Amino acid sequence: MTRTVLFAIAILAGLAILALAPAFLGEYGLGFMVSLMSYVTLATAWAMFSGPTRYISLATVAFFGIGAYTVAVFNETLPYPFVLIVAISIGALLATFVGFATLRLAGVYFVIFSFGLAELVRQLITWFEVNITGTLGRYIFLPFETRHIYWQLLALAAVTIGIGFWIRQTRLGLALKVIGDDELVAAHSGIALARTKVLLFVLSASLMTLAGAIQSPRWVYIEPAIVFNPTISFLTVIMALLGGATRLWGPALGVIPLMILFEWLSASFPDHFSIFLGAMFILIVFLLPKGVLSAVETRLARLKREANA
């Protein structure tokens, strides 16, 4: 009990410090934190569904992009909170549809389907804009400073991790784990596969949509090709896998080293970024097969053992 209380206090303190970050971080540091929080949200939300079910989804950017695009469309006509509500509704609606449609798909079929989905959404939006509205390329002029966006993303990341924590405590979390292990057993144990999977998918997608919506004012100009950049999906997967997709804090812990690595590489080797990045990736796969979190845990366990000895 006291441990839980202590833990809760630690979390709150951590949040408070993070919330004060704009006071002592410069514009650059804050920009870095914005990306960090955005990816923490995306990776955690991704792992919420994909971690336990092992459905590797590349649709992240479909939802992220929808969030951003919705803001681009409505930012001049609707008050900001309503824009967010519209965004989340569209994201959730699409996720529900996709969730039900893909229930029969597993493994790599789902992977590529989800990739195709992101591309399809992008193509359809493009077509719609070209043929119906005649505007391709929209502007977002919202009066947000970096710190405003940072605070929103921090809150979203906290909420996302909170939801992840909550799911773990509930039967929903258990159900997902079973589904990931063996769907047939899950069904015969009384787990409603479709409802569980779709619920989680929608939840995860809604969070991603929000992340895109909140971050978009940073880019001013929005075009489908910009916001539906598949790199975002790939990075999300990689960060989550790197950290450990089945753990609550895994994805977040995958984001941090990668973000730092990117930052360092793009500054130190602007011309050879790709090569170093690729090499790092391969090294990571070989050296940290089970993700950062479990590597850290093993290391800690060993230290503890040595201390005890």
Partner 1 sequence: MLISTLMFGLVLGGTYALVALGLSMQYGISRIMNLAHGEFMIAAAFCAYVLFDFAGLSPLVTLLIAPLIGFGLSWLIYTVMMHPLVKRAANRGQLEADSILATFGLLFILQGIMLVVFGSDFTSYSYLNIPIDIFGVTIAVSRVVAFGLSLFLGLVLYVLITRSRWGATLRAVALSPASAPLVGIQVDKVARQAFAIGGALAASGGVLVSMFVTFSATGGVVFTMKALIVVIMGGVGNLLGALIAGLALGVIETFVTSYFDPGLSLASTYLLFIIVLLWRPQGLFGSVRS
Partner 2 sequence: ADDRSSIKIGYAVSKSGGNATGAGITTIPNYELWVKDVNAAGGLELPDGSRLPLEVIEYDDRSQTEEVVRAIQRLGAKDKVDFILPPWGTGFNLAVAPLMDKFGYPHLAVTAVTDKAPEFAKRWNKSFWFLGGGVDYAEALSEVLSAAQEEGQINNKVAMISVADGFGIDLVNAARPALEDKGFDLAYDVTYPLGTSDFAAIVNDAKNSGADSFIAFSYPPGTFGVTKQAQVAGYNPKVFYTGVGGAFPVFKKISGGQQEGVMGIGGVQSDSKAIQAYFAHHTEEIGNPPDSWASAVTYSSLQMLQEAIRRVGLDRDAVAKELSTGEFDTIMGKVKLEDNQLRTLWWAGQWQGDNFSAIAPAGGTGTVAPVIPKPAWK
Partner 3 sequence: MTALLKLADVSKRFDGLVAVNQMKFDIKKGEIVGLLGPNGSGKTTLINLISGALSPSQGSICINGKNIAGKRADQIARAGVARTFQLVRILPSMTVLENARVPAAFGAKAHRGSEIDRIALTHLKKVGLGDKADMMPGELTYIDQKRLELARALAAEPEVLLLDEWLAGLNPSELQDGIALIKELQSTGLTILLVEHIMEAVRALCPRCVVMNAGTLIADGPTNEVLANPDVVAAYLGDEYDA
187 or 280: CB nearest partner 1: 280
**Contact range with partner 1 by CB under 8 A, out of 18-26, 28-36, 211-219, 267-275:** 267-275
- When CB distances are held under 5 to 8 angstroms depending on the partner's kind, the choice from partner 1, partner 2, partner 3, none that residue 266 binds is partner 2
12 or 282: CB nearest partner 1: 282
Task: Answer yes or no whether residue 107 interacts with partner 1 by CB under 8 A.
Answer: yes
Task: Answer yes or no whether residue 103 interacts with partner 3 by CB under 8 A.
Answer: no
Q: How many residues bind partner 2 (CB under 8 A)?
A: 41
Q: State how far the Cα of 87 lies from the Cα of 94, in Å rounded to an integer.
A: 11
Task: Answer yes or no whether residue 184 interacts with partner 1 by CB under 8 A.
Answer: no
- When CB distances are held under 5 to 8 angstroms depending on the partner's kind, the choice from partner 1, partner 3, partner 2, none that residue 191 binds is partner 3
Do 157 and 214 contact (CB within 8 A), yes or no?
A: no
Task: Answer yes or no whether residue 186 interacts with partner 3 by CB under 8 A.
Answer: yes
In the bound complex, what is the minimum distance in angstroms from residue 134's beta carbon to partner 1? 12
In the bound complex, what is the minimum distance in angstroms from residue 94's beta carbon to partner 3? 25
Q: State how far the Cα of 143 lies from the Cα of 13, in Å rounded to an integer.
A: 29
Do 33 and 21 contact (CB within 8 A), yes or no?
A: yes
Query: Which residues here bind partner 2, judged by CB under 8 A?
Result: 26-32, 34-35, 38, 123, 126-127, 129-131, 134-137, 139, 146, 215, 218-226, 229, 231-232, 266-267, 270-271, 273-274
The residues of the shown chain that bind partner 3, judged by CB under 8 A, are 171, 174-175, 177-178, 180-182, 184-193
Q: Which residues bind partner 1 (CB under 8 A)?
A: 54, 56, 101-102, 104-109, 112-113, 115-117, 119-120, 123-124, 126-127, 130-131, 230, 234, 237-238, 241-242, 271-282, 284-286, 289
